[in-house]
Amino acid sequence: MSTSSRQVTRRQILAAGSAAALAGAAPLRRALAQTAPLKVGVLHPTSGYLAQIGQACNRGCEAALPVLKEMGYPAIEIMNGDTESSPDIARAAAERLINAGAQMLVGAFESGHTLAIAQVAEQRGIPFVINIAAAPQITEQGYKFVFRNFPRAGAIVGGTFDLQKQLFATSGKTPTQCVVLHVNDTYGTAIKGALNALFPKYNMPYKFSDFIAYDPKARDLSVEVAKAKATGAEIVLAVSRLNDAILITREMVKQRWEPWGVIAAGPGWYENQYMKTLGKLGDYPISCVPWFDPRKPLAQKMVDTHLKMFPGQTVDTNTVYSFEAMLICADAYKRAKSAAPQALVDALKTTNIKDSASIGPGISFDAKGQNDSLGLAAVQNFGGEAKVVLPLASSERNLVFPVPGWRNRA
Amino acid sequence: MLLDTYVNQIASGILTGLVYGLAALGLSVIFGVCKIVNFAHGEMMVIAMYLALVIFRWFGLDPLASIPLVAAVLFLFGYALQAGVINRLIDVPDHMQFLLLAAIAIMIVSGCLMIFGPDAQNVPLSYAYDSYEIGPILVDKVRVFAGGGAIVVAGILTAFFRWTRTGKAIRACADNLTGARVVGLNVQRLFALSFGLGTACIAAAGCILLMLVDVHPYLATEYTLLAFVVVIIGGLGSLTGALLGGVLIGVSEALAGLLIDPSLKSMFSFGLLILVLLFRPQGLLGKRVQ
């Protein structure tokens, strides 16, 4: 046996030493990865016709950071992207954030934009947590990287019908005709479809006198309001964005149309900007929306933090679901112990957050990545603030219905 | 549907259409004389809207009353822009002029965003929600003021071009540029004057429009497009044509919304545009170019 074959060369010692050093450093690297902030690409329409709503969503995300830190979650670094109120830009903005190192995506308020981003997230294998978007098809595509903590259009419509029945029972006034004014974008079309599909099942006391569709970017809605007024309906079911909700209210005042009330299924009517712009004329519309539960401790913490960080800005649907999206990301990162996409997806699938801020039992996802346990509230505007009026168990103020006429307020 | 609803909407369509026409007048004046397609048209209108908004907030002056002041500021801006920048590029190919004005448009939008932010802002006028009641017809007071303002501004502009020496000189440039040079007119100065007049006209439209819509930096694009549609239907370079084009669009949108579907309103105005391009490409009141 030759002794030379057993000789350990200097090169072998170096190689073995390096391997040992690398092996020893691996757990350290993982630990370092856990302490490094998770880079979350936040995509909202912060410019264009949805700008105010997009900015409100961004504020919700930012308000989450100090609260999550206090709760002991790992740090999050927000990377902002602007979808410019356009699906094409939304897609490009998502690509840009991923290229810049985003490890998770959050967004995007508008269903059309969200669909575009979901495709990018799926192609690039980056987990995408949807804060707000109701079009049902988003979680029906079999996507593996897409998770939605927001009710689908059907759930919003079902919840709206339930709340309307409570509203009529509480007020003792039951309408016979309802006119629907709805935007013709992805969200509006999805809600219209759900209204038609679910109406027979809910045995509502009224009939739909007309469905009036309009462009959410319309500069003038006088014709739409005139057409709705001509139906003689007692209530208006509005499916709106923000600027169009303002335009509709102005036209209702100008055309001296005073139905019993506007009941909105979705955004626009409870927004800060709506109430600021219209003053007293912005009082009393009722919105049936996914909302925060004012009695939950986390919701109270969210409201306090938001107020401290953004004085004068109200907390609403945009805030709570954006806030919760960040909570979901932080929770997944904490449990995954890694920022690797598959580890994050695996953690997201097993999400089970009981201490949430929204109405409902908490946050968990089904096999399609949908949280189907979220509830709705009816909120009504009073003096520049939206207050929960239904369900009665969570109500902060007494319901006013039918609402006072325009001349009795301003 | 009741007849009142139709009459109300036609009246509203005419008044709104007059404002659309006024918004397009500036584009028509600038193209009619300088042959420059102003791609920053809507953006200049947004500047005027913001100026009127600031004047309202600081001095409480109604946007209608602030028209002379805002028009004077925009006149100077337009004059300086034409004299200092555009005149130097008057002989370059069209696409370079388009790019120049598109660049100016982007700069204006960015500037407005930096100064005023992206939020929609409005002037809370005391009469904003008032209406005139004439029998069964309800006419929005602000629209009546806006439509009346549009007619007055268009009348002043027409009188200027028809009865003043400078106006006649500008028309001479528009009709025959070589002839105007031969008789010794200072074409460069007249071009700058025309551009200034066009932007002053845009300023008047902006002040009036501020009473009807909330201003935000991204409003510009749709009004630039609308102005193009209006002047192409009415006839590029024709002042009366611009007003007529605006009224046609206002009324067709109102009727299409009532009779068919409000979602199809824009389709009808663009359908009208295609019909005019096919059967009367010079526009309803435009002159045929030989």
Question: What is the mean pLDDT of each successive set of 10 residues along chain A, which is 410 residues long?
Answer: 48 55 47 73 90 92 96 95 91 96 94 95 96 92 94 93 95 96 91 94 94 89 92 96 92 93 93 89 95 92 96 92 97 95 96 93 94 93 92 89 84
Task: Report CB contact under 8 Å: A273, B254.
Answer: no
Determine, yes or no, domain membership for B239.
no
Domain extent for A312 = 35-152+294-375
Residue type, A291: W
Determine, yes or no, domain membership for B263.
no
Report the number of distinct structural domains present in chain A. Answer: 2
B108-136 pLDDT, tens digit each: 999 998 999 877 888 988 888 888 888 87
Determine, yes or no, domain membership for A261.
yes
Question: Among partner residues A49, A226, A273, which is closest to B8 by beta-carbon distance?
Answer: A226
B133-148 pLDDT, tens digit each: 888 788 888 889 888 9
Determine, yes or no, domain membership for A114.
yes
B229-247 pLDDT, tens digit each: 999 999 877 888 888 999 9
Cα B35-B41-B47 angle, rounded to 5 deg: 140
Pair (A82, A163) in one structural domain? no
CATH code of the domain covering residue A392: 3.40.50.2300
Q: Is A390 on the interface with B (CB under 8 A)?
A: no
Pair (A322, A280) in one structural domain? no
Pair (A94, A226) in one structural domain? no
Pair (A246, A349) in one structural domain? no
**Rounded mean pLDDT of B190-196?**
91
Determine, yes or no, domain membership for A25.
no
For residue A39, the SS3 value is: strand
Determine, yes or no, domain membership for A243.
yes
Determine, yes or no, domain membership for A23.
no
Question: Among partner residues B9, B131, B216, which is closest to A256 by beta-carbon distance?
Answer: B131
Q: Is A232 on the interface with B (CB under 8 A)?
A: no
Pair (A217, A244) in one structural domain? yes
Report the number of distinct structural domains present in chain B. Answer: 1
Domain extent for B179 = 3-219
Task: Report CB contact under 8 Å: B213, A219.
Answer: yes
Determine, yes or no, domain membership for A11.
no
pLDDT surpasses 60 at B40: yes
Tally DSSP H helices, then E strands, for chain B. 11, 2
B58-88 pLDDT, tens digit each: 999 999 999 999 999 999 999 999 889 888 8
Average pLDDT, rounded, for chain B: 88
For B250, the closest chain A residue by CA position comes to: A220
- Which chain A residues contact residue B212 at CB under 8 A? 220
Long-range own/partner contacts, residues A118-127 (CB < 8 A, 24 or more apart):
A118/A143, A118/A146, A119/A91, A120/A91, A120/A94, A120/A95, A121/A94, A121/A145, A121/A146, A122/A146, A124/A95, A124/A98, A125/A341, A125/A342, A126/A98, A126/A102, A126/A341, A127/A103, A127/A332, A127/A341, A127/A344, A127/A345, A127/A348
Question: Tell me, what's the pLDDT at B265?
Answer: 82
Å from A221 to nearest chain B CA? 9
| Residue B269 pLDDT grade (very low, low, confident, very high; cuts 50, 70, 90) | confident
Pair (A271, A386) in one structural domain? yes
Q: What string of DSSP letters covers A100-144?
A: TT-SEEEE-SSHHHHHHHHHHHHHHT--EEESS---GGGGGS--S
Determine, yes or no, domain membership for A18.
no
pLDDT surpasses 80 at B189: yes
Determine, yes or no, domain membership for B256.
no
pLDDT surpasses 60 at B290: no
Q: What string of DSSP letters covers A176-214?
A: SEEEEEEE-SHHHHHHHHHHHHHHHHHT-SSEEEEEEEE
- Which chain B residues contact residue A277 at CB under 8 A? 120, 122, 214
Q: Is A177 on the interface with B (CB under 8 A)?
A: no
Q: How many CB pairs (< 8 A) connect A and B?
A: 88
How far apart (Å, rounded) are the C-alpha atoms in residues A104 and A126? 6
Contact B108, B44 (CB under 8 A): yes
Determine, yes or no, domain membership for A367.
yes
Pair (A218, A287) in one structural domain? yes
Determine, yes or no, domain membership for B255.
no
pTM: 0.81
Pair (A186, A325) in one structural domain? no
Pair (A104, A130) in one structural domain? yes
Question: Tell me, what's the pLDDT at A112?
Answer: 92
Q: Measure the N-to-C terminal CA separation of chain B; round to a whole number of Å.
A: 48
Q: What backbone phi and psi angles, to 5 degrees, belong to A278? A: -95, -10
Pair (A250, A327) in one structural domain? no
- Which chain B residues contact residue A409 at CB under 8 A? none
Task: Report CB contact under 8 Å: B16, A46.
Answer: no
Q: Rounded to whole angstroms, what are the CA distances from A148 to A18, A31, A202, A335? A: 45, 29, 26, 19
With 0-12 / 13-18 / 19 or more C-beta atoms within 10 angstroms meaning exposed / middle / buried, residue B199 is buried
Determine, yes or no, domain membership for B94.
yes
Determine, yes or no, domain membership for B278.
no
Pair (A371, A384) in one structural domain? no
**Residue A214 corresponds to which tokens in the numbers above?**
């309009």
How far apart (Å, rounded) are the C-alpha atoms in residues B58 and B206? 18
Question: Among partner residues B140, B213, B263, which is closest to A214 by beta-carbon distance?
Answer: B263
Question: Among partner residues B1, B5, B118, which is closest to A47 by beta-carbon distance?
Answer: B118
Å from B166 to nearest chain A CA? 37
Question: Tell me, what's the pLDDT at B66?
Answer: 95
Å from B171 to nearest chain A CA? 34
Question: Tell me, what's the pLDDT at A227?
Answer: 92
Task: Report CB contact under 8 Å: A51, B5.
Answer: no
For B123, the closest chain A residue by CA position comes to: A277
| Chain B contact probe: residue of A82, A180, A250, A254 with most B CBs at under 10 A | A254
Residue type, A384: G
Pair (A387, A244) in one structural domain? yes
